[in-house]
Amino acid sequence: MRLEAAGVRFAYRKGEDVLRGVSFAVEEGEVLFVLGPNGCGKTTLLECLAGIRRPTAGAVLLDGVDLHALAARERARRIGLVPQLHEPAFPYSVTEMVLLGRAPYLRTLARPGPEDRREAERALEVVGIAPLSDRSFTTLSGGERQLVLIARGLTQGAGVLLLDEPDAHLDPFYQARVLGVARELSRAGVSVVLSTHDPTSALSHADRVLFLVRGEASPAAAPTEAITEATLKAAYGVPFSVLQGEDGARAVALRPQNVPY
Amino acid sequence: MRRWMKGILVAGVIAAVGLFAPAREVIDPMGRIVTVPDEAQRIASPYGMGTYYLYALGAKEQVVAGWYIGLRTASQAPEVLRRLDPDLAIKLRFGDPNLEDLAALGINLVLADATRHAAFSRLAREVGLPVLEYQVETFADLASALRTTGQALGGEAEARGRALARKVEDTLAATEAATADLARPRVLFSGPDPLRVASGTMFQTLLVEAAGGASVSAGLVGSWNEINLEQIFVWDPEVVILAPYSTAEPKDLLADPNWQRVSAVASGRVYKMPRLIAPWDTPVPDALLGLLWLAETLHPGALGIDLCAEVQAFHREVYGLELSAEELAGSGCP
Amino acid sequence: MSRRHAWLVHLLWIAPLAAFVGSLFVGRYPLSLASLFQGFGEGSTSLAGSILWRVRVPRAVAAGLVGANLGLTGALFQGVFRNPLVDSRILGVSSGAAFGAALALLVGSPAAVQGGAFLFGLAAVGLLLLLGARFGFSPLALVVTGVLVGAFFSSLLGLVTYVADPLRTLPAITFWLLGGLGGTRWSDLLPVAAVSAPGLLVLLSLRWRLNLLSLSDAEAGALGVNTRVFRPLAVAAGTLLVSASVSISGMIGWVGLIVPHVGRAIVGSDQAKLLPASAALGATTLLVLDAIARSVLPGEIPLGVLTGIVGVPAFLAVLRVFLRRRGEAR
């Protein structure tokens, strides 16, 4: 599935544009990383891409069709949103959490049936957390919870998965695991759009990267082109170095001097 | 006369007037010594029952602001009361008494409830307003209160107070004597609605006992107690008395299928206590009539009185009112 | 979890029935087992039958219905507002109903108490939804508006009690406010059941989907659910039930707060299981409490008082378990 943002503008209040004409496309099976400073509109962008916010101008197109021309249920079957981690109010079990992803497939008065349960189990397998299915969500670590939410996105049967800062608050093990899962999904044909604060992970996991700074998006490009010392300085306002190790591993590091307070 | 002698004379007269100003000391029902004006022309009575004492003692005209038990507006008042006092609407108050309001009216005597108006009374006394405090829960209290109120009013009211108090005591004694040896029927006295019944500590139970009945709810305490139908079956009263202000009528209970098995309903002995000037089940002079009526209802003929005549005589003597046949109907008269 | 609690789940469905039947054996009037069974068949022709069919059965039905309503709406509101400390009183419906009942008593029309309570309960809900609409029915807005609406009607209630005649009206209002099912007749039940039925139907059919309201609005939206429509619908159905219950039972608190927590401990947080479980638990609780309220003393013990006295220690116990569970997560 091809997801395209065409000149998307969004404002919460009139005259205060959060997104100023963002345009890009994500091809089938591609992983796009969205980098940018806090408050630049990454979450808003993802919500527009998911169709839960309506752009004030421009459109989001899925295989050429305007998202808002589709019914909410149809949208939900094609695009999955994996939100930032937050503390849930009640202790649902992992399976119950993942089953919620079947909502777009169930009639209003229906409850999940055996087929839905199979889908949920499959999703848990793909993400690699099947042993956790009976655990209570609130007893899981942050990394495990993130994987559960990704599994839920999968049960939606979505062709496009949007992940909002999935690696935030995670230790390196789970960071790697979450991003690894995203890559695997893309190999299976799912398009992935992922927002993050970590340019290093973009270097190793993205197909293409774009910067969202003050509501404006840079053109999406391959990581080596998109992530340079210049673009990083422009985005975050502090100097970075892009480093390369002998084995080819690449990283972004903050330059020690002249960090403004 | 020399000017300085005139001055001394005037001062002397004022002093004499001040020293010998018409004022008396009485002991109020709570045992406090209160200095009351000799001619208490402007009386306020936040005490809902005290107002009726004043009327009974002939001090109707002196009541400027009255609280009447059970009445919130003049339109709720019974016809008889409005006939007795055409100025009722002007005098009627409800809620908490407002000291400034009363002071502005030039009040010079207050009748208050010892519990409910305790704070108000303290303040009123500080301002120099004479306050009589009452706590009347038995017939004895009633008689005593009538005497004291009469004393406080002075003049004719004092004599009337004594006479009325004696009448209360005599009637009580006579009724108790007449019913002493008679079998006591089980009596249920219910109040605002049929399932809300009088506790053992309430005046209504005293009435029942004095009239020769045995109150089934005497074991309960507090104010009106809510009970359920099963408890009624357990007690199985032989007579049901509905308070004058009950929302139900005897016919409602008699027709109610749920109540059919209660002895009182089966034998048709469900009665509603009448009310003319004041409710007959509260400790006001009219409670006399309540007592007589109840005794007649429980033990017809035992007292050897003509209830109708008694009711008429009471209103004539105590309130100075002639009751019409209409008004008398249902109050012990055919 | 499921294996350990499997027997508890079975108990869940038996408990209300057992409580219902059991409560019929209890009451002020001493009835032997034999006369009870006899009365069962005799209907109103005998005293035992009268007591059974005219006093105990309608009361038990009322207790079961009101208890189920309270439990279910408690679970519903906790989920919809994502707040474990919420019960049906949060939205101000009970205050509106209390005012309506007091007004009817003030006007001197005891027969209109039930209707008045229901009407003003609905008025409170209407006000809530009207004000909540301005804020897009967000959970926080609804809670705050609910508190305000409740405060408004409570003040009006205060005014009514001030003006009420202390001899007749005030005791009636006070007792109504304390909550109780005394004097319940079959005719009182009909309107309650008639109103509760559609509300229950709606909520029970939608019960799985209600889980989606526990997610953030963004997540729910991404799953194809329009919370701006769904949430007020759920709230409206729930408050219909609350209004209907309060109109016959007065103010009964705590049941809606505690029952869902106990339910969660047995069947988990899935509303599809929790709503029916809370209904069953609520019915059982109120059946037991009402049986106590009407038989232990000659006078009726107000239900609201009993639920408070029993409810507070129960709530403390639940709180300990709840906090312990949370402590497990990091």
Sketch out chain A's domains with CATH numbers. 3-232 (3.40.50.300)
Q: Does the distance separating the beta carbons of A106 and C224 come in below 8 Å?
A: no
Same domain, B186 and B204: yes
Instruction: Please check whether residue B102 lies inside any domain of the structure.
Output: yes
Instruction: Report pLDDT for C251.
Output: 87
Structure tokens belonging to residue B32:
């406090």
Q: How far apart are CA A151 and CA A174, in angstroms?
A: 15
Compare all CA atoms of chain A with the CA of C207 and give the residue at the minimum distance. A109
**Amino acid in the structure at residue C281:** L
Same domain, B133 and B214: no
Q: C228: pLDDT confidence band, cut at 50, 70 and 90?
A: confident
Q: How far apart are CA B116 and CA B204, in angstroms?
A: 20
Instruction: Please check whether residue B8 lies inside any domain of the structure.
Output: no
Instruction: Report pLDDT for C329.
Output: 37
Instruction: Report pLDDT for C35.
Output: 82
Residue A91, min C-alpha distance to chain C (Å): 6
Number of domains in chain B: 2
* pLDDT over threshold 80, residue B4: no
pLDDT tens readout for residues C64-121: 999 999 999 999 999 988 888 887 787 888 899 999 999 998 887 777 888 899 899 8
Query: In which residue are the tokens 């991404």 written?
Result: C222
* pLDDT over threshold 90, residue B128: no
**Amino acid in the structure at residue B31:** G
pLDDT tens readout for residues A20-32: 889 999 999 999 9
> Across residues A119-136, what is the average pLDDT?
90
Measured between beta carbons, the chain A residues lying within 8 angstroms of C221 are 47, 50-52, 72
Q: Would you call C84 helix, strand, or coil by DSSP? A: coil
Compare all CA atoms of chain C with the CA of B259 and give the residue at the minimum distance. C50
Query: What is the crossing angle of helices C227-249 and C113-133, to 10°?
Result: 160
* pLDDT over threshold 70, residue B20: no
Residue A65, min C-alpha distance to chain C (Å): 17
CATH architecture of C2-328: Orthogonal Bundle (1.10)
Rama region for C108: left / alpha / beta (φ>0; ψ in -120 to 50; rest):
left
Q: Which of A80-84, B145-149, C59-63, C68-72 has the lowest mean pLDDT?
A: A80-84
Range of the domain at B199: 180-328
B141 near B153, Cβ under 8 Å? no
* pLDDT over threshold 80, residue C45: no
Residue B51, min C-alpha distance to chain C (Å): 16
* pLDDT over threshold 50, residue B90: yes
Measured between beta carbons, the chain B residues lying within 8 angstroms of C167 are 69-70, 192, 245, 279
Measured between beta carbons, the chain A residues lying within 8 angstroms of C269 are 90-93, 96
Q: Output the CA torsion sign for C276, C281, C287, C289.
A: negative
Chains A and B touch (3+ CB pairs under 8 A): no
Q: What are phi and psi of B23, to 5 degrees?
A: -155, 150
> Across residues B263-275, what is the average pLDDT?
93
| CB contacts < 8 A (B, C) | 89
Q: Does the distance separating the beta carbons of C269 and A90 come in below 8 Å?
A: yes
Q: Are strands A250-254 and B23-27 parallel, antiparallel or unpaired?
A: unpaired
- Three-state SS letters, A40-106: CCHHHHHHHHHCCCCCCEEEEEECCEEHHHCCHHHHHHHEEEECCCCCCCCCCEHHHHHHHHHHHHC
Measured between beta carbons, the chain A residues lying within 8 angstroms of C264 are 90-91
Instruction: Report pLDDT for B30.
Output: 87
Instruction: Please check whether residue B3 lies inside any domain of the structure.
Output: no
Give the CATH number, domain containing residue B313: 3.40.50.1980
- Say whether residue C226 is in contact with chain A using an 8 A CB cutoff: yes
Instruction: Report pLDDT for B70.
Output: 78
Instruction: Report pLDDT for B12.
Output: 57
Q: Are strands A3-13 and A57-62 parallel, antiparallel or unpaired?
A: antiparallel
End position of a domain, from candidates B117, B149, B172 = B172
Instruction: Report pLDDT for B286.
Output: 94
Compare all CA atoms of chain A with the CA of C230 and give the residue at the minimum distance. A108
Range from A105-114, A252-261, B69-78, C146-155 that averages highest in pLDDT: C146-155
pLDDT, chain B, mean: 88
pLDDT, chain C, mean: 86
Compare all CA atoms of chain C with the CA of A91 and give the residue at the minimum distance. C269
Same domain, B259 and B130: no
> Across residues B42-53, what is the average pLDDT?
93
Q: A261: pLDDT confidence band, cut at 50, 70 and 90?
A: low
Residue B72 has its nearest CB partner, among C165, C183, C300, at C165
Residue C182 has its nearest CB partner, among B69, B191, B195, at B195
End position of a domain, from candidates B172, B202, B221 = B172
Query: In which residue are the tokens 């599935």 written?
Result: A1
Compare all CA atoms of chain C with the CA of B219 and give the residue at the minimum distance. C298
Q: How far apart are CA B327 and CA B216, in angstroms?
A: 32
- Residue-range domain boundaries for chain C: 2-328
Q: How far apart are CA B177 and CA A55, in angstroms?
A: 95
User: pTM for this structure?
Assistant: 0.82
Q: Which site among A44, A47, A90, A146 would you substitute to test the C interface, given the most C Cβ atoms closer than 10 Å to its Cβ?
A: A90
* pLDDT over threshold 50, residue C1: no
Q: B150: pLDDT confidence band, cut at 50, 70 and 90?
A: very high
Instruction: Report pLDDT for C92.
Output: 87
Q: How far apart are CA A229 and CA B276, in angstroms?
A: 100
DSSP one-letter string for B58-117: T-GGGEEEEE-TT-SSGGGS-HHHHHH-TTHHHHEE-SS--HHHHHHTT--EEEEETTTT
Instruction: Report pLDDT for C164.
Output: 83
Give CA B276 to chain center in angstroms: 12
> Across residues C224-251, what is the average pLDDT?
89
Q: Report percent pLDDT > 70 for chain A.
A: 98
Same domain, B91 and B189: no
End position of a domain, from candidates B172, B201, B216 = B172
Instruction: Please check whether residue B10 lies inside any domain of the structure.
Output: no
* Segment holding C49, helix H or strand E: helix C47-50
- Say whether residue C187 is in contact with chain B using an 8 A CB cutoff: no
Q: Which of A82-86, B5-9, C97-101 has the lowest mean pLDDT?
A: B5-9
Q: Does the distance separating the beta carbons of B227 and C182 come in below 8 Å?
A: yes
N-terminal to C-terminal alpha carbon distance within chain B: 76
Same domain, B188 and B299: yes
* pLDDT over threshold 60, residue C4: no
- Say whether residue C7 is in contact with chain B using an 8 A CB cutoff: no
List chains touching A (3+ CB pairs under 8 A): C
Measured between beta carbons, the chain C residues lying within 8 angstroms of B260 are 50
C79 near B254, Cβ under 8 Å? no
